[in-house]
């Protein structure tokens, strides 16, 4: 009986303690600046009190599980005066059933950390994944995120249809206890949203992996989405360990044709309601956003999300601005990501050249991460994030002085910049093979130093 199951699930989860602060939002509401808030303030060049006030209001999330000892805290969102923090970037990786090579995944982790990813999502979905996840949390200073739904079948060793709501909660608890900083929970795709999806139809249906699994479970069992039905119990688990909930967009559009349709907006309305419920439970929130969208729709979608979800931090995949570039989707996503972040998105999930084709390798991770970091940085400049131009100005000064080592050090990917330069040594010292002895920088520097310029 549903009533009996509700009782058993509720009894298995304890409610958050109202008196003692546990989460960053608890402490912020109590007027306390935590070490994590102080670290974010220092990294962003802001006053600690400004960070605290924004965390208290839900405008900034600092995903920081109490068990993640190696974490360097990062803030996602904007201060109450509307000044954004730097746009954060996430890398997806994880063990796949078809390519279950843990060594390759560690190569990806190394690239992500080398290039300064702010977060790593472990999307492992095959076999017993806990050993990889716990080691990643132990070693990574970046925020760690997961999608417990992906892990449910391997963790529980059950078929999808045999999994119960209690089982789903068990997996969420396991991830929280392991030290995961944020979890994607597809709680917004309830029966109302499914009805809208079925009535209006789509070209690409449901492309969210987690969303498709929950949809299959709902259709087979006739039940409500367990993460929606037992949302309060999910929140109690997350509060206990200070895990930020990233409200997943199960109905994100998988093609430009489906963007901003009834199903996407119906789910977004539900996500706004769930955002307030999470805040009321003392749980930090991020809201996930669309995947494919024409360029002219992006800014409006960012504003709509912020309005419906009460200015909670927004986390987007891309958006990919066209659908015909397999092998180059890191570029289509970077274009969309730059526009999205300029218009208000706070957190970009990278897309690699392998998107829609295969599991990415370490080289794909490098290409996808750098492209997304370019998008994030370009947006930070455009929206006036304090200090965003400083590194660009130092790069420009180094270029004026033709100081190659300084240029390499300032590059987003120093190894790549140095390798490209050294692959074709110039014949004229202090130049490159693009201009050689006709280098504009060298010519003007020589003139300014009172030297005679000779091109012979």
Is 435 annotated for ligand binding?
yes
Q: For residue 423, how many C-alpha atoms fall within 13 Å in the half-sphere facing its CB?
A: 7
> Do the bridges between strand 119-122 and strand 88-93 make them parallel or antiparallel, or are there none, so unpaired?
parallel
Is 52 annotated for ligand binding?
no
Give the Cβ contact number of residue 318 at 10 Å: 29
Residues 6+ apart with CB under 8 A from 348: 87, 88, 89, 90, 315, 316, 337, 340, 341, 372, 375, 376
Is 209 annotated for ligand binding?
yes
Is 406 annotated for ligand binding?
no
- Residue 417 · residue 408 · CB < 8 Å: yes
Is 67 annotated for ligand binding?
no
Is 210 annotated for ligand binding?
yes
Is 441 annotated for ligand binding?
no
Is 68 annotated for ligand binding?
no
Is 439 annotated for ligand binding?
yes
Q: What is the DSSP letter of 38?
A: H
Outline where DSSP puts E strands in 404-454: none
Q: How far apart are CA 404 and CA 432, in angstroms?
A: 10
**Sign of the CA dihedral running 262, 263, 266, 267:** negative
- Residue 75 · residue 144 · CB < 8 Å: no
Is 92 annotated for ligand binding?
yes
| CA 210 from centroid of its chain's CA atoms | 16
Is 286 annotated for ligand binding?
no
Is 328 annotated for ligand binding?
no
Q: How far apart are CA 155 and CA 116, in angstroms?
A: 30
Q: Helix or strand or coil: residue 367? A: helix
C-alpha pair distances (Å), 67 with each of 39, 109, 110, 140: 17, 20, 22, 12
- Residue 314 · residue 271 · CB < 8 Å: no
Q: Which residues are annotated as a binding site for Zn(2+)?
A: 292, 356
- Point out the annotated binding site for [4Fe-4S] cluster: 432, 435, 439
- Binding-site residue numbers for substrate are 92, 121, 150, 186, 208-210, 249-252, 288, 315
Q: Which residues are annotated as a binding site?
A: 92, 121, 150, 186, 208-210, 249-252, 288, 292, 315, 356, 432, 435, 439
């Amino acid at each position: 009986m549903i009533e009996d199951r509700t009782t058993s699930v509720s009894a298995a989860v304890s409610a958050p303690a109202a008196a003692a602060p546990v989460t960053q939002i608890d402490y912020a509401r109590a007027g306390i600046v935590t070490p994590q808030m102080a670290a974010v303030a220092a990294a962003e060049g802001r006053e600690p009190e400004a960070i605290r006030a924004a965390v208290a209001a839900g405008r900034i999330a600092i995903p920081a599980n109490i068990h993640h000892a190696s974490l360097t805290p990062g803030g996602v969102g904007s201060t109450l005066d509307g000044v954004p923090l730097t746009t954060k970037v996430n890398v997806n990786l994880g063990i796949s059933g078809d390519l279950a090579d843990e060594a390759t995944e560690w190569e990806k982790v190394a690239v992500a950390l080398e290039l300064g990813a702010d977060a790593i999502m472990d999307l492992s979905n095959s076999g017993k994944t806990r050993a990889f996840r716990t080691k990643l949390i132990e070693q990574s200073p970046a925020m760690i995120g997961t999608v417990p739904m992906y892990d449910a079948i391997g963790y529980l060793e059950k078929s999808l249809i045999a999994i119960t709501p209690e089982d789903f909660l068990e997996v969420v608890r396991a991830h929280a206890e392991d030290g995961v900083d944020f979890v994607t929970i597809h709680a917004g795709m309830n029966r109302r949203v499914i009805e809208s999806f079925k009535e209006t139809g789509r070209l690409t249906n449901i492309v969210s992996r987690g969303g498709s699994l929950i949809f299959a479970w709902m259709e087979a069992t006739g039940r409500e989405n367990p993460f929606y039905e037992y949302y309060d119990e999910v929140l109690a688990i997350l509060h206990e360990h200070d895990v930020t909930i990233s409200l997943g967009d199960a109905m994100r559009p998988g093609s430009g044709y489906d963007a901003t349709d009834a199903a996407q907006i119906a789910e977004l309305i539900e996500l706004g309601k769930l955002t307030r419920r999470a805040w009321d439970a003392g749980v930090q929130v991020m809201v996930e956003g669309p995947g494919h969208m024409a360029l002219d729709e992006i800014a409006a979608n960012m504003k709509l999300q912020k309005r419906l979800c009460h200015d909670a931090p927004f986390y987007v995949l891309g958006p990919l601005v066209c659908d015909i570039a397999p092998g180059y989707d890191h570029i289509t996503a970077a274009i969309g990501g730059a526009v999205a972040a300029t218009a208000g998105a706070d957190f970009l999930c990278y897309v690699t050249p392998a998107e829609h084709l295969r599991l990415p390798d370490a080289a794909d991770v490098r290409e996808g991460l750098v492209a997304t970091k370019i998008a994030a940085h370009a947006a930070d400049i455009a929206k006036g994030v304090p200090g965003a131009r400083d590194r660009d100005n130092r790069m420009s000064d180094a270029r004026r002085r033709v100081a190659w080592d300084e240029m390499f050090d300032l590059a987003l990917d120093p190894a790549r910049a140095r390798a490209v330069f050294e692959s074709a040594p110039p014949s004229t010292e202090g130049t490159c093979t693009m201009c050689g002895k006709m280098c504009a920088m060298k010519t003007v520097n020589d003139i300014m130093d009172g030297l005679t310029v000779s091109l012979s």
